[in-house]
Structure formats: structure tokens, C-alpha cells
Amino acid sequence: MNRSPAEAVHDAERSRQWLAGEARGSGVDRDALWELGAAMAAVTAAAAEREPVAVESAPVGVDPPIVKPLPPELLRPLGSNAEMRWSAMAGQGHVVPTDRFFVRNHTVTPRLDPAAWRLSLSGDGLHGAPTRSAPVEFSLDDLRRLPAEESTALVECAGNGRRFFAEQQGDPTPGVAWGLGGVGVARWRGVRLGAVLRRAGLRDDAVDVMPEGLDPHYVTGGVDLGRVRRPLPIAKALDDVLLAYEMNGEPLPADHGFPVRVVVPGWIGISSIKWVGPVEVSTTPLFSPWNTQFYRLFGPDHPTDGTVLGAQPVKSAFELAWDARVTAGEEVLLRGRSWSGSGPIERVEVDTGDGWRPADLVAADRGGPWQRWTARWSPPAAGRHTLRARATDRTGAGQPDRAAPNTLAYLFDAVVAHPVTAC
């Protein structure tokens, strides 16, 4: 999901507190993480072949890592992940249909029994300090009995656009080679996390909330980091965070977090924990590898321990196949979408080879999580052509010709050169 300045501030503070021994992270040995951190620094300095939180290969003899079908016209498989093909969005509405919504897995999609599933809240941030072994529990039916809300929100992987660091700029690109399809907007329905916290007995002095997924443990560098989890400040948890059990009007699919996932509007995708189960509520700061060691910027322009990721930058994509075929001399209605982690899109321009000109914005999307747009173009002659699109958001942030490189190839924001061939 897109990442807000407030999230960056929270993560930077938790990193400082963790380094000073002021933050807790149950289930992770600090010395082991220091050892892993040193190893990761060496790895990134040597331009390793993958990012710290890249997926592991699926074990032999087990179910495939992704449950849903992966039709090649809709999705491009990337190991345990799958990215949406932008050509599959041509003619679609504002939200991404579930069958082509991207999948980001750290390990594999778990198969969970909804009847046995429980949301389990524990920690000293709740009255009575329930323990992990004796938590306050909610079943799926319990959640469905609470007042439901619906939110149209964007989810985006921090590595979205990574492949273009190498393809356009010649920069080393470790990790999952996402194009621009590691993003999507959906209608999420569920119950506010804040409502559940209050029913569980939230204390006034609670500081952090840490949802944890029920997918398999993540192991890297010989260290078992446990299940994916990431803390949220209590203010964000009580604001607009959703415990979603429906996606686009249907029960949440397995690959997208069934039976319940967290949706954190405005924050980077790793915050929206899928297959949520345990939730720790604490009166002291919490940390996890996913906000102190991983999802950070490394490289010559950053300190040794990395820089916390800021807001997701502005991006634009054409709803067109890569190296699409068009007819020379015939008008084409180009369609695309632009989005930003810092605010709604205000302006989009396209360049079809004769300079930048304004695109027409779809009025219904104004102020939403992303902006659809169109532009007309008649290929002047047969042969290769290059299309470009760039956007500017409400804060004035735009898209440069070249993205600032970093070792793990996060936050690509440059204008993408989209090839087409006129016949």
C-alpha cells in the first residue's frame, strides 16, 4: 500500500528505539537480528541477488505458493508472487477485478479453516493484560456481527517498478523483478480495527498494535524471523485501519488474506498484513524485522543502517501490452492510470514522440486512490514508437527522467518508456 509521511516517522522512531534497546519484539532474538543485519549490510554492499524479504522457493511436494489461477493474459508469475498485466485493465472500472489483482507472498498462501480461525488479541495494552496463550478472541462470525464499513483503498508493493532500475538505468536490481503491476485498488469491507480493540479492552496508555499473519515462518540468513508482522501506532490503528473479510463484494480470496486481513490506507503494502491472527497491543514501543531491518533504503547516499522508506512516489502506467501492436495512421485512444502515496493526482501528461501534452482525466476518479486518464494518438508511420506518461500529485511531487538508485531497488518513480510497434 502507499506509504504516508506519518508511517516513515513512526518507523524511524521505532528503529531508533530498537537500536537503543527501548522497543520490544517478542519472538526475535536481538543478537540474532544484529547478526542478520550485519550480514544484510554485507550482502547489500555486494549487490546481492535478492532483497532481504524476497520469497523463498516453494518446497517440493507441497501445494503451489499461489492458490488462484494465473492466466497469462491477466497475471505474470514471479516465483511466489504474481503481478497484474496492465493490458488486463483495459476497459475495466476504477477497481481491479480480483482475478487479476496482484499477489505478494513472503512464503506461500496458507489454507485456513474459517470455522477454526480466531483473531487473538493480547498484551499489556489491554485491560487485564491477556497473554498470547489466553487471549481475547473473536471468530469470523463475531466480526461479521459488528458494524461493517467499506473502503476503496490502494495496495502497492514497495518494490513496484523495480525491473526498470536495470532495464532503463542499468542499475543492479536484486529482488523480485516487478514491472508496474504490483499495485491495485479494491473495495474492502470489514470492521474497524479500532472497534475491535475497544471491545477487547483497550487501555488509554496503549502505544503500539502489531498484527501478525498466519502464513509460514520466514527464514533468511539462517535466522527464523517468525511470521510476518509489523507494528502500527495506536493513533493509526484507531483511525482508518480495516479488518477486511470481503474484497470487491465477495469473501476475501485465499491469496488476498482469507479469512481476514488488515488494510492500512495510505501506508506501504507490508503494513496490510494478510491472514491476520495474533494481534499484540502494547504500552511500550514494538518492533519487528519488517520495520527496522527490512524495507529500508541502502546505498552510497544512505547511512550504513539504511533510511526508512518514505511515501510511495508518483507512478503512471498505460493500460496497454508491453510492445503492443497498433495500426499506423489510425487513431488510438490511449488509456492509463497514475497514483501517488502523498496525495491525489492533479495532472497527467503524455509524450507520444512529439513532446509532452496534457491527458484527459476521468472526472469520477478525482481525489481517489488513483486517477484514470486518456489521450488520443495516431501513429505517424510504421515502426517502433515510445510512449511516456508522467503525473503530478496534489503536493507538487512528479516523476523524474531517472529514479534515484538504491541497493534493494525500492521506490522507482521515473517516467517509464513504454514500447509499441505500429504496423
Chunked into runs of 10 residues, the chain (423 residues) has average pLDDT values of 58 60 60 48 38 42 83 96 97 96 96 98 98 98 98 94 96 90 98 98 98 94 91 94 98 98 90 97 93 83 82 94 95 97 95 97 96 97 97 97 93 97 96
Tell me phi and psi for residue 374, to 5 degrees.
-140, 160
SS3 call for 18: helix
Q: How far apart are CA 82 and CA 89, in angstroms?
A: 15
Nearest to 103 by CA among 197, 201, 182, 44: 182
Phi-psi region of 89 (alpha: psi -120 to 50; beta: other; left: phi over 0): alpha
pLDDT of residue 111: 96
Nearest to 161 by CA among 381, 406, 420, 422: 406
pLDDT of residue 240: 93
pLDDT of residue 52: 41
SS3 call for 162: coil
- Note whether 227 and 289 are within 8 A (CB): no
What is the 3-class SS of 355-420, one letter each residue? CEEECEECHHHCCCCEEEEEEEECCCCCEEEEEEEEEEECCCCCCCCCCCCCCCCCCCCCCCCEEE
pLDDT of residue 191: 98
Task: Tell me the CA distances in angstroms from 171 to 55, 181, 283, 410, 417, one per residue in order.
Answer: 21, 20, 43, 12, 16
- Note whether 101 and 256 are within 8 A (CB): yes
**Could you give the maximum distance between any two Cα atoms of the chain, in Å?**
74
- Note whether 182 and 157 are within 8 A (CB): yes
Q: Could you identify the residue written with the cell 524471523?
A: 225
C-alpha cell at 261: 486481513
pLDDT of residue 311: 76
